[in-house]
Amino acid sequence: MKKILFALALLFSFSSFGQNNKDALRLCSVLQSNSFSSNSAAEDALERILGTIGASKRFVLQPCSNTNNAVATSYKGIRYILYDPEFMNTLNYGSNWGNLFILAHEVGHHINGHSLDLVLYAADAVESVSLAQSRQQELEADEFAGFVLAKLGGPISAANEVISKISNNSDDSYNTHPSRNKRLNAVAKGYNKANTKKSSNKTKTQIADEFFYKGLKKDKSEDFDGAISDYTVAISLNPNFISAYVNRCAMYRAKGMYEEALNDANESIERGGKEYPHYQRARVFMDLAKSRDDPRMFKAIDDLTTAISYSKEPESFLYENRGMCKFRSIGWNSACEDFIIAKSLGAELPQFVAKRLKNGCD
């Protein structure tokens, strides 16, 4: 692999040490074979990013079309950030905040000393990093970018949208990049750092509560992505925030992201959650069950029974949902009693259930 990189490095003119722009274009050519809008817009964004930490501009920015990527690298001691303008716009439908997050992520690699000089690497003067180190570097760059986004007043949802589009939650053991949840948590950690410095008189718990209630507002207005972002920040500040896990679970379920929803329901139960975590997990199982004998339907019944046992007062929605589970899996006679209880507690039952109840439970 190093020989290949060295051969590619030979494509660059070693006699043009002072011509950074030419080197950047040659780097771009190599990326095009491997793998903001205007230059001024990208330059302005870079100035804003560096301004959040008081750093000087020591990077060469170079548009690099048809690479479907953005990358931080070094060549002959010069640090470069190469980006595909079309790719930057596609990732977040042209959102400036999403693009700025991507650029900040690449700056984060340089700030944290991650980028290897291609010439030194090809000459075996430096070693490549392991997969584990690569994943850690990506998390550090995500954290930096989250910090920058918060400092500039951007919404964390823009970063989360980008991360969600370029990652998943599969096993990352043999990958250079971490799984989605790890990256989202890193972004939230950086975002929270910036907000904590802005609100130094507040405790982490207080700030977590603020983000939770922000999420709750967005939840009610059906801004599911925004709510997920705020709940994620709340959880990063307070890992035992059971209500944030429960509410984020509901948002994931509304978006059809069942793996994430189930993870949050399980997490909230493991951390001591009672009634509502079991209810939310039951709803996930109900959505996933494909047939009347699907084991997940019976798991839903068990969770709803547990939720009912934890409930301080009878809740109509718990009995109504358990009745629906029983009706779908066992039959009317088993479900009827739950529907009667739900109705007595004020539930507005589906028409077919209300009609059948008139004939009793037989």
Is the pLDDT at 121 greater than 70? The verdict is no
Is the pLDDT at 142 greater than 80? The verdict is yes
Is the pLDDT at 327 greater than 80? The verdict is yes
Nearest by Cα to 261 from 221, 288, 236, 240: 288
Residue 208: which H helix or E strand, with range? helix 204-220
Integer Cα distance of 220 and 154 in angstroms: 22
DSSP 117: B
Integer Cα distance of 353 and 52 in angstroms: 59
Q: How many residues does the chain have?
A: 362
Mean pLDDT of the chain: 82
Residue 82: which H helix or E strand, with range? strand 78-83
Window from 9-13, 126-130, 219-223 with minimum mean pLDDT: 9-13
356: tokens are 């059948």
Residues 6+ apart with CB under 8 A from 336: 323, 357, 360, 361
Q: Name which residue leads in pLDDT, 214 or 4.
A: 214
The amino acid at 261? A
76: tokens are 């002959």
Nearest by Cα to 81 from 51, 101, 61: 61
Nearest by Cα to 62 from 78, 47, 42: 42
